[in-house]
Structure 1
Amino acid sequence: MSNNNLGLLSYAQTRVLVDDFTTSYRFYRDVLGLPLKHPDESGAEPADGPYACFVAGDADLALFTRAFMEAAVGAEHRPRDGVDAVVVVLRVADVDAAAKTLEARGVVLAAGPVDQDAWGMRVAHLRAPEGTLIELCQYDD
């Protein structure tokens, strides 16, 4: 990483804050099929939270209970305001195939596969249980 006088070593992870941890956990694990980064030796899964970290290619995508994060920073609990503040982007080999797989798993796409010529990629969009926007993208290196 660049020398920015912070001692920054790397980008660590994206952490999605959720209220209904169990439903979100099952979505990221079962519907998106993301594997846990640190499975418990006993085979127990952190389905009840408050934290789970998944592997998404070369990156980490974590779930964390919003109430715990708010407590950590001393913030008051606020309801989601419905405005997208983040998009989780997952690069896939074939957007159309991935979209069909997700639809077979019961996902209703927010927007089906379409070429975004200005972006140089093909994309599809869906929402996680609490509304987080997820983009599937396909592009050549």
Structure 2
Amino acid sequence: MAMNLGSGDEPEEMVDINTTPLIDVMLVLLIMLIITIPIQLHSVNLNLPNGAPPPPTSPPPVVQVDIDFDGTIYWNGVLVPNLTALDAKFKQIAAASDQPEVHVNPNKLASYGDVIAVMAIAERDDVTKIGIVGNEQFAQ
């Protein structure tokens, strides 16, 4: 096995680039950039009302819509014979100037399609105050 050690008289040439000055220049440029960037103030100006809001005159009326496990729908405890009758009741609510809150309470075993049908009828009739109650029965 042979190895070329070179002659001892000639100095070795350095072929690596000296990166120390490059790093120094980059750090100086970074510091200058940080110093020249203006401080951003993240604030949003809001015009809030003064004083306390008036107390509510009375709690809104509530309509309870129960959906049984077999798709039977009850309006405040009274059986609704079909979806057409339910549609008429929702239209009557939507026509009122102060709409009552509609609380939909599905049974745990009720079909998803039955619940969505009731919600779709309410939405189509422009009932704006609607919510699903009784969600604690679905917690495990």
| Bin for the TM-score computed over the shorter chain | under 0.3
Higher helix fraction: Structure 1 or Structure 2? 2
Q: Scaled by the length of structure 1, what TM-score is found? A: 0.23
| Structure with greater strand share of residues | 1
Larger Rg: 2
TM-score normalised by the chain length of structure 2: 0.23
